[in-house]
Amino acid sequence: MTLILEGVSKVVGGQTHIYPTDLTLEPGTMNVLLGPTLSGKTSLMRLMAGLDVPNTGTIHWNGQDVTGMRVQDRGVAMVYQLHQLPVHDRVRQYRQPDAATWKDQVRN
């Protein structure tokens, strides 16, 4: 699924979160949004997912303009990623836990 942002910007309460931005994401590629706190990464993701509407510009999924489309109609989701594992856990525990181990981890 190709995602194209053309001239997309977002201003909230007089503060610019996203300056006019052009971006194309192609299928089969890996893309990373990297930047310091308050640089607009989450704002940009919210625009792509349809959780927010840009002040300017358009958003296209596979050639269809979805800029004003309701989030429920887009068939896209945004999931926040936990940026670190709890200090007391080990990566090995998250690989393929059996059901009993998983229940114990969830309870703790």
How far is the C-alpha of 52 from the C-alpha of 68, rounded, in Å? 10
Note the CATH number of domain 3-73: 3.40.50.300
**What is the residue-wise DSSP string for 41-78?**
HHHHHHHHHTSS--SEEEEEETTEE-TTS-GGGT----
Contact between 65 and 71 under an 8 Å Cβ cutoff? The reply is: no
Q: What is the pLDDT of residue 76?
A: 78
Pick out the chain residues at pLDDT < 70.
80-108
pLDDT digits (tens, 9 = 90+) for 17-39: 999 999 999 999 988 888 888 88
pTM over 0.85: no
- φ, ψ (nearest 5 deg) of residue 72: -65, -25
